[in-house]
Amino acid sequence: MFTAPQVVGLLQELSFTHVVTIPDSTLGQWEDDLKACDEIEYVGVCREGEAWAVAAGLYVGGATPLVMIQCTGLFESGDSLRNALFDYRLPLFAVIGYRSFLNQSTLPGDTCLTFTEPILEAWGMDWVLYDQAENTSEQLEAIAAHCLRCREAGTPGVALVAEGRA
């Protein structure tokens, strides 16, 4: 699993200025370190669709925001995501937690496993799954390269990060 210092280091390396987020059991473990980081502003929102709109405003204002939500929030985000990424073509990058990918101990038969990847495909997103199972340093490097590739291309991107319990 990625540690909070690893994640904060990654986001600093990528010069993100804001993290727009709602925590889940995995992403929430990074929250204290993100809030303690002077170089990154933590923006907690009440519903995931908001995250894309706040990030869109930050982006056109000259900031470099990251959207960080669970896949259930991706499902909720549809119209807001569509508007920011496709109507206005804003190249926002997101870390999306993939609930139950590593195990289904708390939610056997979790339908997040059924819908997450097809929905990312349906949106035509440049997404990559990072399973966090081993070689986390290499995976963090891969996320960095993925993000930079999206920035270079001026396109949105999603780092789909595997999670266990809900």
Binding residues (CB under 8 A) for another protein: these are 18, 20, 41, 43-47, 49-50, 52-63, 65, 79-80, 82-84, 87-90
- Whether the CB-CB separation of 80 and 49 falls below 8 Å is answered with yes
Least CB distance from residue 20 to another protein, whole Å?
Answer: 8
Token pair of 16 as six digits: 């993100």
| CB closer to another protein out of 23 and 164 | 23
CA distances from residue 94 to 47, 55, 71 in whole angstroms, order as listed: 15, 10, 11
- Whether the CB-CB separation of 159 and 143 falls below 8 Å is answered with yes
| CB closer to another protein out of 51 and 125 | 51
Least CB distance from residue 93 to another protein, whole Å?
Answer: 15
Bridge partners (DSSP) of residue 106 are: none
Of the candidates 166, 164, 66, 71, which has an alpha carbon nearest to the alpha carbon of residue 123? 71
3-state secondary structure of 18: strand
Count other C-beta atoms under 10 Å from residue 88's C-beta: 11
| CB closer to another protein out of 92 and 140 | 92
Least CB distance from residue 18 to another protein, whole Å?
Answer: 7
Least CB distance from residue 57 to another protein, whole Å?
Answer: 2
| CB closer to another protein out of 76 and 110 | 76
Least CB distance from residue 47 to another protein, whole Å?
Answer: 5
CA distances from residue 108 to 79, 101, 103, 151 in whole angstroms, order as listed: 29, 11, 8, 37
| CB closer to another protein out of 62 and 108 | 62
